[in-house]
């Protein structure tokens, strides 16, 4: 097990390094454009040359990447042009806000999709099963921006129950969190529920579950003690792998409801071409994505003793 | 493939999916005949659905901030979504299948290199990959297609690679190798037809996701440049009016959701049929 974890971590490190190199090259391969970006398009050639020398841009590309990387790793993320503040200062506040959103989302999504998936998969082909399956196909077909619009039209314009923006100007307000959460749920829960359903249906069809039922074990006990344990392995992996996918939904939701989180920060940074802010915020989401992928991999081997890594 | 098409009527889900997709394809083809007005013509801003404009023209779905007929824009917008989404998905499949075939069949360092490349792309959350690329290189049809191709390629490559690994040791492949067939022949003529089932299902599903992705880019303001009638861009342009005139954004949202639903139902129907085979 330790060997698997170590190998997986090494592998994660290589991916992160490659991703950082890609981001570095994408934005900093030509020093001239960096100088023009930081100093503005009306800066003089003199100013740009001075800035480049001062910031070590006259060195070779490899050396520049190395110093960029070592500063990055030690937490010096550079200066944001748009906010005119150190990137690190802006970033962590935004990350905290997104974390609140994500925590609330998982707290609702995991129990809801697992329960619905298990109930549907318990009796394949039942009316409940078909209802859940159809509901899941429809909800996963609605793009997050569209469910956001539908929810706004209904709950804000039509019924006037909820606020239409979630900028939290007057401090934290749970009411403002409802619509973003709803949209993320519609976007993500159907997939997890469908995987859970399929996994549960597979387990219910296995010989050991049939044996347990035939020998007269109460159905409740068969499901809770025997079936669930194996049926929940696949959903665990999927929930972890979904994080990569969820980040897309978070961007849309934060943009739509003006929520000050990491997703809207990445969008603002990209639209303004704020180089250092893009690099830092993007690297952070990549770290998150690679980390959850690794947890999914390691956890799968841990939960399922039939799969053992060489 | 033909056998599968013949059995499609057995799946009601697939039929509904095909009907929805066919509806939008016909709308796209007959757009100039169906649209009551020109999609870029500015007539009367903020008309509600059912309002009548100058000269008694009927705005069935109302008009947008700039006074353009929403129904006509949705009808013409069908053309862009049904052109760029399938185009991007096809290029992604061409590239992904080629990589997967080679990686799965050749193995060794080539497989290792291609797989690491796929992992690198998969490490980027998809929408962030798109946003970074489009914001850097500009929003144009070509860049959107290229970004989507790059983002979808690794997933397709992994599926194809897995399918090829399963086929590589089979007798018909060995027979072809003994006959001295070139590698490209074995890959394309021998192996590819045997792995197409799961790939067709994946194509329908992925097409749905690509439609969502292109729509999302439009919604975020990174879509096709105006005044092209594009569903995502339409929503972006009228986003600020959503709380006052929801009709401006609700109808394009219904259009895009229904199209994605059509492809998802089709994928589900085909998968169901191929499982009962």
Q: At what angle do helices A31-39 and A2-28 cross, to 10 degrees?
A: 70
Tokens of A255: 């943009």
Question: Residue A146: its chain B contacts at CB < 8 A?
Answer: 215, 235, 253-254, 256-257
Size (chain B), residues: 277
- Tens-digit pLDDT profile for residues A54-87: 887 778 888 888 888 888 888 888 888 888 888 8
Say if residues B256 and A143 touch (Cβ distance below 8 Å): yes
d(CA B100, CA B118): 10
Contact between chains at A248 and B216 (C-beta distance less than 8 A): yes
Q: Are strands B51-52 and A85-86 parallel, antiparallel or unpaired?
A: unpaired
Say if residues A15 and A292 touch (Cβ distance below 8 Å): no
Architecture of domain A88-269: Orthogonal Bundle (1.10)
- Residue B107's contacts (CB-CB under 8 Å, 6 or more residues apart) are none
d(CA B117, CA B139): 25
Does B91 have pLDDT greater than 90? yes
d(CA A43, CA A48): 7
Residue of B nearest to A18 (CA): B120
d(CA A284, CA A288): 6
d(CA B227, CA B68): 11
The alpha carbon of residue B123 is apart from the nearest alpha carbon of chain A, in Å, by 6
d(CA B260, CA A142): 7
Tokens of B42: 């500015």
- Residue B219 touches chain A, beta carbons under 8 Å: yes
Question: Residue B120: its chain A contacts at CB < 8 A?
Answer: 15, 18-19, 22
- Tens-digit pLDDT profile for residues A169-222: 777 777 778 889 999 998 888 888 988 888 888 888 888 888 888 888 888 888
| A18, A149, A248: residue with CB nearest B125 | A248
Predicted pLDDT at B261: 93
Say if residues B1 and B201 touch (Cβ distance below 8 Å): no
Contact between chains at B124 and A18 (C-beta distance less than 8 A): no
pLDDT band at B65 (very low <50, low <70, confident <90, very high): confident
pLDDT band at B1 (very low <50, low <70, confident <90, very high): low
Work out the percent of chain A whose per-residue pLDDT is above 90: 15
This prediction has a pTM of 0.88
d(CA A270, CA B143): 15
Predicted pLDDT at A124: 80
In the beta sheet, which residues pair with residue A85?
A80
Work out the percent of chain A whose per-residue pLDDT is above 70: 97
Burial A153-172 (b: 16+ CB within 10 A, else e): bebbeeeeebebebebeeee
Question: Residue B221: its chain A contacts at CB < 8 A?
Answer: 271
Residue of B nearest to A291 (CA): B123
Beta-carbon neighbour count of residue A79 at 10 Å? 17
d(CA A82, CA A88): 14
Say if residues B96 and B157 touch (Cβ distance below 8 Å): yes
- Residue B136 touches chain A, beta carbons under 8 Å: yes
- Tens-digit pLDDT profile for residues B149-181: 999 999 999 999 989 888 888 889 889 988 988
Q: What is the mean pLDDT of chain B?
A: 85
Q: Are strands A85-86 and A79-80 parallel, antiparallel or unpaired?
A: antiparallel
- Nearest residue to B256 via CA among B224, B230, B228, B225: B230
- Nearest residue to A149 via CA among B264, B81, B127, B238: B238
Say if residues A267 and A282 touch (Cβ distance below 8 Å): no
As annotated, the residues of chain A forming the CATH 1.10.3720.10 domain(s) are 88-269
Question: What's chain B's Rg over C-alpha atoms?
Answer: 22
């Amino acid at each position: 097990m330790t060997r698997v974890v170590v190998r997986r971590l090494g592998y994660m490190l290589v991916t992160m390094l490659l991703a950082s190199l890609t981001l570095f090259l994408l934005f900093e391969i030509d020093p001239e454009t960096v100088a023009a970006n930081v100093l503005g398009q009306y800066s003089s050639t003199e100013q740009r040359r001075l800035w480049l020398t001062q910031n070590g841009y006259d060195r070779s590309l490899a050396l520049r990447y190395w110093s960029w990387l070592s500063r990055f790793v030690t937490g010096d993320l550079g200066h944001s042009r748009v906010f005119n503040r150190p990137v690190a200062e802006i970033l962590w506040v935004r990350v905290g806000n997104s974390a609140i959103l994500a925590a609330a989302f998982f707290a609702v999504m995991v129990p809801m999709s697992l329960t619905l998936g298990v109930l549907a998969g318990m009796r394949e082909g039942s009316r409940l099963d078909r209802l859940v399956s159809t509901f899941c196909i429809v909800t996963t077909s609605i793009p997050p921006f569209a469910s956001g619009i539908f929810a706004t039209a209904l709950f804000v314009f039509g019924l006037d129950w909820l606020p239409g923006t979630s900028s939290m100007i007057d401090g934290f307000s749970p009411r403002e969190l409802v619509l973003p959460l709803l949209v993320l749920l519609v976007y993500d829960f159907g997939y997890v529920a469908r995987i859970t359903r399929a996994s549960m249906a597979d387990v219910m069809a296995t010989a050991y579950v049939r044996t347990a039922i035939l020998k007269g074990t109460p159905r409740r006990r068969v499901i809770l003690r025997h079936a669930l344990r194996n049926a929940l392995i696949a959903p665990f992996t999927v929930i972890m792998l979904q994080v990569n996918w969820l980040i897309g939904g978070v961007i849309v939701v934060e943009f739509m409801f003006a929520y000050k989180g990491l997703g809207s920060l990445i969008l603002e940074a990209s639209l303004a071409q704020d180089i250092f802010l893009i690099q830092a915020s993007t690297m952070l989401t990549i770290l998150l994505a690679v980390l959850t992928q690794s947890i999914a991999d390691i956890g799968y081997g841990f939960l399922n003793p039939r799969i053992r890594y060489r | 493939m033909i056998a599968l098409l013949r059995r499609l009527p057995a799946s009601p889900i697939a039929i509904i999916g095909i009907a929805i997709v066919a509806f939008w394809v016909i709308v796209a083809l007959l757009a100039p005949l169906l649209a009551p007005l020109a999609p870029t013509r500015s007539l009367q801003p903020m008309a509600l659905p059912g309002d009548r404009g100058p000269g008694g023209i009927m705005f069935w779905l109302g008009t947008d901030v700039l006074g353009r007929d929403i129904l006509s824009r949705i009808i013409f917008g069908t053309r862009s979504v049904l052109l760029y989404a399938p185009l991007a998905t096809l290029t992604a499949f061409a590239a992904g299948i080629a990589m997967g075939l080679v990686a799965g069949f050749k193995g060794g360092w080539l497989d290792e290199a291609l797989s690491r490349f796929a992992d690198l792309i998969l490490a980027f959350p998809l929408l962030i990959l798109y946003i970074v690329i489009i914001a850097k290189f500009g929003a144009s049809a070509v860049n959107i297609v290229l970004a989507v191709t790059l983002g979808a390629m690794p997933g397709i490559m992994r599926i194809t690679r897995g399918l090829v690994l399963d086929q590589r040791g089979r007798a018909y492949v060995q027979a072809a190798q003994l006959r001295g067939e070139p590698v490209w022949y074995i890959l394309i003529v021998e192996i590819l037809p045997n792995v197409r089932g799961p790939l067709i299902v994946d194509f329908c599903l992925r097409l749905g996701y690509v439609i969502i992705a292109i729509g999302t880019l439009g919604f975020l303001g990174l879509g096709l440049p105006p005044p092209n009638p594009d569903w995502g861009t339409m929503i972006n342009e009228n986003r600020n009016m959503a709380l006052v005139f929801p009709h401006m954004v609700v109808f394009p949202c219904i259009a895009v959701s229904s199209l994605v639903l059509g492809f998802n139902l089709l994928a589900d129907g085909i998968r169901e049929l191929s499982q009962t085979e």
